[in-house]
Amino acid sequence: MDCKDLVELVTAYLEGDLSSEDRARADEHLARCDGCARYLDQIRETIRLTGTLEPEQIPEEQRSALLGAFRDWAGNQG
């Protein structure tokens, strides 16, 4: 396994989708390659930072339309 391969396997690696042989080869490569270890750290940091994004706000008119729909439904069903 070389660096170019590892970069393309990084998601499968993090998802736990690699076969045990490929996983072992990736771990072996990462243990002796600073560049790939850094790349993996960058991807992990990217995932962590992406997780800090705020939930999106929904427009007020959609919110009130859905609230109205809910109240109609709740009222009709008693």
Partner 1 sequence: MEQTASPADLELVQRLRARDEAAFMSLVERLQPSLIRVARMYVASQAVAEEVAQETWLGVLQGIDRFEGRSSLRTWIFRICANIAKTRGQREGRSIPFASLAGDDLDAPSMPDTWFQGPGGAYPNHWSTLPSDWASTPAGRLDAAEVRAVIGGAIAALPPMQAEVIRLRDVLGWSSEEVRNALDISETNQRVLLHRARAKVRRAMDDYLAMGNE
| Measured distance CA(35)–CA(32) in Å, rounded | 9
Of residues 20 and 58, the one with the C-beta less far from partner 1: 58
Looking only at residues 1 through 30 of this chain, which bind partner 1 when binding is defined by CB under 8 A?
Answer: 2-5, 7-8, 10-12, 15, 17
| Measured distance CA(69)–CA(78) in Å, rounded | 15
| Measured distance CA(7)–CA(46) in Å, rounded | 14
Contact residues: partner 1, CB under 8 A: 2-5, 7-8, 10-12, 15, 17, 33-36, 38-39, 41-43, 45-47, 49-56, 58, 62-63, 65-67, 69-71, 73-74, 77
